Amino acid sequence: MIRMFKTIAAVIVVIGAGLAPAFAESPLHSLRTADQNRGWEGVGRLNFGETGFCTAAMITADVVLTAAHCLYDPDTGDRINAEDIEFQAGLRLGRAEAYRGIRRVVIHPDYDFSDQTRLNRVGSDLALLELDRPVRLGHVRPFRTQVRVEAGQTVQVVSYGRDRADAPSRESECTILARDDEILVLSCEVEFGSSGAPVFAVYEDEIRIVSVISAKARWEGQDVSLAAVMEGELDALIGEFARTPAFGPVGKRVVAGGSTNGVQDTASR
């Protein structure tokens, strides 16, 4: 059950990652050149056949983090087959740094796509996807995670979205407006396709992922975005990942913490 502070109880969640924003001037900056995108190549577009896309980010060479709701067909409620998903790392102007299929999809154990109260789903709207092959390119680096953040803290988001699907966009300064035990309320601008986009904060002079975008909402008369508080929830997701078997091309079982996964090591306390 979500234990919301009174200030967050006024949040009205709208569909997916949101309606078109009402900002007079967008704070987003398109990363259309190699120089602009340097350091962000581990963020990529997660394509679902011809049906749409979300955003995801690498946390190891072969595991990406995204929003759980991205892995469901919004019309039928069915899980999307892994073979119909492709991760395109650092996609810019029709070309990605790496193209990878998906070998395994692991949803947060508490996530329930069928829950019609959308706010109830935000706190566990997290998923890990194992790539079919690691991305071992020196300039495409995974991001570490740091889960503790507070209201008032400055964060940034790198995402794809409707009308800007061909290159990532970065919002370098937005704010955590409020938080409770499960939900972050952010001033960050999001759009359809931004679901799963990494929320970054600086920790010990390093950019780290602190959450992923879940939904667009209205809060106290302004457009906001919502993301999960990852304290404890990332551990629960990693535990689920470790318990879920994966099979390679010749049926070899791989578990988290082995030579290719090591997901446990990405979370810093």
Domain range spanning residue 155? Answer: 12-30+144-228
Q: Report yes or no: 22 and 222 within 8 Å, Cβ to Cβ.
A: no
The answer on 79 and 205 residing in a single domain is no
Evaluate whether residue 2 is within a structural domain.
no
Enter the pTM of the model.
0.85
CATH of the domain at 79: 2.40.10.10
The answer on 136 and 239 residing in a single domain is yes
Domain count, the chain: 2
Burial class (CB in 10 A: 0-12, 13-18, 19+), 3: exposed
pLDDT in tens, the chain (269 residues): 334 444 566 666 554 543 334 444 678 889 999 999 999 999 999 999 877 999 999 999 999 999 999 999 988 999 999 999 999 999 999 999 999 999 999 999 999 999 878 888 999 999 999 999 999 999 999 999 987 899 999 999 999 988 889 999 999 999 999 999 999 999 999 888 899 999 999 998 899 999 999 999 988 888 999 999 999 999 999 999 999 876 543 333 333 332 233 443 333 32
